[in-house]
Amino acid sequence: MAEAIAPVRDGMRVGLGGILGRRRPLGSCRSLVEAGIRGLHVYSFLAGAETELLVAGGAVASVTSGYLDPDARAEATESARAAGRIDWHEVSEHMFVGGLLATGAGLPFWPTLGGVGSDVAERLALRTVRCPYTDRPVLAVPATPLDVALLHAPAATEQGALLAPPERKFLDDADVTLARAARWVVVTVDRIAGTDEATGGGGAVLAPFEVDAIVCVGPGRP
């Protein structure tokens, strides 16, 4: 794990995978705290236990997320947010994903109708542009380049191919979008899969060239 997170430095933009109670990269976040990393700018589709671990460990300067998972029992995060010890940037889910998609596509912004005319867009000073085909105003969400993405998954091959989950569930593709917006991608897994598993069934959702480090932490310890 130490080698996998070695490129992480103070003040970096770190994307955290997972949704609700699933696929949370707790192992890699725990290692960042133990390494004494500080001042991270965290990006999470829906912040949860992994964000709480980092905030409680004093590693976070700001969080950008759709909301804080109420089931995470994130007392340290709630306290730090209320006291102003961390900056909290709440965005809509469309805005969050749009910024990642723009980065992955090499674009300066991503057009979306989600949030047009909302208080959130106004608070974040997001601009609108006119669609060249319909003249309809759309929100121009700026690209969100990440330094690091930390993910957890059931399995990956030794070569780095991240396997699709056995059963597709809510927002399984969110982690893929996050990874493709980052310069360094670390994935903790329950097990190392055979190469043949990446080509059969659901196949791989991330190719080896899209993953920089795989760490097998075993089942039950994300």
Domain boundaries in the chain?
13-90+145-216
Interatomic CA distance for residues 65 and 81, integer angstroms: 13
Query: What's residue 67's pLDDT?
Result: 82
Which pLDDT belongs to residue 71? 80
How confident is residue 201, by pLDDT bands cut at 50, 70 and 90? low
Least confident of 24-38, 131-145, 160-174: 160-174
Judge whether 192 and 158 are in contact, CB under 8 Å: yes
pLDDT at 174 over 60: yes
Instruction: Decide if pLDDT at 86 tops 60.
Output: yes
Structure tokens at 170: 């809510």
Q: How confident is the model at residue 203 (pLDDT cuts 50, 70, 90)?
A: confident
Phi then psi for residue 57, to 5 deg, are -85, 5
* Residue 129: per-residue pLDDT: 92
Residues 70, 49 contacting (CB under 8 angstroms)? no
Out of 3.40.1080.10, 1.10.10.10, 1.10.238.10, 1.10.443.10, the CATH code matching 13-90+145-216 is: 3.40.1080.10
pLDDT at 185: 96
pLDDT, mean of residues 81-99:
90
pLDDT tens for 23-80 read: 889 899 999 999 999 999 999 998 888 999 999 999 999 999 988 888 878 889 889 9
